[in-house]
Structure 1
């Protein structure tokens, strides 16, 4: 059996200097022996010894500095006769993330009460759809951009039904979101022809191309699909607010004309533009702060702005921000128009009039 197991460090030996042959030719690496208790897996509760080499000449992510009480991730190889080999793999980070997820659900329930619980449920279902439907379809070789565009509609509709119910607001918001997503998709497809993306803009992606089990993966399309996914959350926010505003205004004054309802929806939407667009931009910049430092031309990096802007990584992030923002902005008028025309478009069929 070969498995990754969470373990808790219960004892730490004094580090000894590692010979140059084991430390990239340098003699200043340290080799410490850790005693750890396995917290799961086939050999749960077993106590094992594992070597941990700390070498300042390696990249920081390759050095795992631990203390007694820390949880680490071990690769354990063994047979029915017992454990044969144990290697330290990384810090164990999943436990804390699970606790933090629980705190998020509790906060949603305390602040939003029943609505907060429905929000948590909608989020959970969206994650399940991504993991169980979207990712397998892409792995099977389906066009990632088309898959993400279609799944975006499914996620938007299912989430809005859970949070706001099956009504006119849900229908018009979903159509508005899909409209913004589709427009952003066309922009991205056109931009790809101009920017000549390969989709392999990072070391992680390059490694994935070597070890992937599928030869059908189109990393260029996956890159573009990721841009669309980043738009979905903020587009849902703006579409729901605009659709809700139009519905409330129409309910308060049924005599308003279609053009007046569109104007009212646009008025609410334009108030959202500044904050929602900033949310999208800073969400991307926050994830890519190191790239922002690169473009700013700090002393950390060499190369002019023209050279930096022409790299695939930077230009892909710029496209992510620009195409996403355009799709987000256009979601507002599409939602306002659909909301105002809802009764005329769908009323004769008797669909979702509330």
Structure 2
């Protein structure tokens, strides 16, 4: 997560370093204490279920056949069953029938897998309720382990090849993010802890680990940490106010309704807020790191810039960044909710009723709250970075806010100028045109 900025920053004055340490370290300790308090000690364990046995197999043959006619059908309906029909021969790889070939019907129905020869599939063993000694095999789905492993290897190799040591640090940060989500955030919410508090603490832990691991311990990273933390808290407060004003209950999706059936003690309204915060973190740290780095680069390019000039210049960079990231957030939420948006086209209700429905209002609130938190991160981080980058290094001009005086170029020697003006043009020099524009037949590409 975040952007990569490898230029080493100028050494931070000791006084500024002490202020950052006194600010960041207590916040980190407070986050650890909050995590210990909210740590799930009585997280419910999933109930052991009598799962249907699942075995691995490989398709060796597929035989398609005409579907038999339905025995009794209403008038006007097709007389044959929905296809495809036929048998699949599978060589069983695991289980009591390993090494043997068994026949199964071709999978049918909505979402049924389409199988071909040499496909690696998963078989389920179904026992006949009338005769427990008789069992049959059906194809459940494809095996996806090997493709996922190769995708993970390609993903890691591309990151390491491009980012090198920084890429390894990014992979470590990604692993730490998933570890915090799987060991703290999800179990904490399942244990009945307040989802909003768990999400803020979990996101703060992820932020501290990922930013310092990926970008190193420096004043620039500390500025990004403080900006991200302030924006996370602001996003949580905005989400709380927005969901309260729109009276969202958290039952805006089928997943939430299903979860309420299995876990009635989970606060779905708080879970909605937690999802907004966790979803905003990935974009927030990218913006804050970029803004801190932009201020550092501007300061490096022109040490005489005042704080106001640094802030204004870096804010222009932030505006360009926000213009693209806002579209990214909306499209990310739209892509995740594409089946929901497609369902709207089949809804016969009025547009106003659709927009104000629970499920669509939830998506709108998510996008708006995440965007507002993102916009607030730019001035917060930029102002803090401008103060830190100029503290203890500037002169009176830096703190006055006055523009930096322009140093005039040295005057060109008069004899050299007269000689250059009096030298006739060479053969290759195109003739001057009477207008101020170059020859229209000449290439306007810049010579590098």
Q: Do both share a fold (TM > 0.5)?
A: yes
Q: Is the 8 Å Cα contact of residues 122 and 162 (structure 1) preserved in structure 2?
A: yes
Aligned residue in 2 for 1:150: 201
Query: Among residues 305, 311, 324, which one is paired with 2:351 in the alignment?
Result: 305
Tell me the distance in 2 between the aligned counterparts of 1:197 and 1:342.
Answer: 41
1:207-235 per-position Cα deviation (integer Å, ceiling 9, x unaligned): 3332x2x4421122212211222211111
- 1:274, CA displacement in angstroms? 0.8
User: Greater share of strand residues, 1 or 2?
Assistant: 1
Aligned residue in 2 for 1:32: 86
Tell me the distance in 1 between the aligned counterparts of 2:337 and 2:172.
Answer: 29
Q: 1:156 to 1:197 in 2, by over 3 A?
A: same
Q: Is the 8 Å Cα contact of residues 177 and 210 (structure 2) preserved in structure 1?
A: yes
Residue 175 of structure 2 is aligned to residue 129 of structure 1 = no
- 1:132, CA displacement in angstroms? 2.2
- 1:327, CA displacement in angstroms? 0.6
Tell me the distance in 2 between the aligned counterparts of 1:250 and 1:134.
Answer: 39
Of 255-264 and 316-325, deviating more is 255-264
1:17-36 per-position Cα deviation (integer Å, ceiling 9, x unaligned): 36758999974134533333
Query: Among residues 249, 273, 279, which one is paired with 2:322 in the alignment?
Result: 273
Aligned residue in 2 for 1:114: 165
Does the residue aligned with 1:14 lie in a helix, a strand or coil? strand
Query: Among residues 79, 86, 97, which one is paired with 2:148 in the alignment?
Result: 97
Q: 1:276 to 1:34 in 2, by over 3 A?
A: same
Unmatched 5+ stretches in structure 2: 1-50, 128-132, 392-448
Q: Is the 8 Å Cα contact of residues 291 and 314 (structure 2) preserved in structure 1?
A: yes
Aligned residue in 2 for 1:216: 265
Q: 1:47 to 1:333 in 2, by over 3 A?
A: farther
1:269-311 per-position Cα deviation (integer Å, ceiling 9, x unaligned): 222111121221222222223444455xx4x442221111122
1:109-158 per-position Cα deviation (integer Å, ceiling 9, x unaligned): 22222222322222222122212221111111111121111111111221
Equivalent runs, 1:314-333 vs 2, <5 Å: 314-333=360-379
Q: Is the 8 Å Cα contact of residues 107 and 114 (structure 2) preserved in structure 1?
A: no
Of 116-125 and 236-245, deviating more is 116-125
- 1:77, CA displacement in angstroms? 6.9
Aligned residue in 1 for 2:244: 193
Q: 1:293 to 1:246 in 2, by over 3 A?
A: same
Residue 212 of structure 2 is aligned to residue 161 of structure 1 = yes
Pairs aligned (count)? 334
1:142-188 per-position Cα deviation (integer Å, ceiling 9, x unaligned): 11121111111111221112211011122111121122221111111
Q: Is the 8 Å Cα contact of residues 58 and 118 (structure 2) preserved in structure 1?
A: yes
Aligned residue in 1 for 2:400: none
Q: Is the 8 Å Cα contact of residues 287 and 321 (structure 2) preserved in structure 1?
A: yes
TM-score (norm 1): 0.81
Tell me the distance in 2 between the aligned counterparts of 1:228 and 1:21.
Answer: 56
1:317-337 per-position Cα deviation (integer Å, ceiling 9, x unaligned): 111111000011111111122
Q: Is the 8 Å Cα contact of residues 18 and 29 (structure 1) preserved in structure 2?
A: no
Tell me the distance in 2 between the aligned counterparts of 1:13 and 1:53.
Answer: 12
> Rg larger in 1 or in 2?
2
Q: Is the 8 Å Cα contact of residues 63 and 86 (structure 2) preserved in structure 1?
A: yes
Q: 1:97 to 1:22 in 2, by over 3 A?
A: farther
Does the residue aligned with 1:333 lie in a helix, a strand or coil? helix
Structure 1 vs Structure 2 CA RMSD: 3.4
Q: Is the 8 Å Cα contact of residues 180 and 330 (structure 1) preserved in structure 2?
A: yes
Q: Is the 8 Å Cα contact of residues 299 and 389 (structure 2) preserved in structure 1?
A: no
Tell me the distance in 2 between the aligned counterparts of 1:4 and 1:344.
Answer: 64
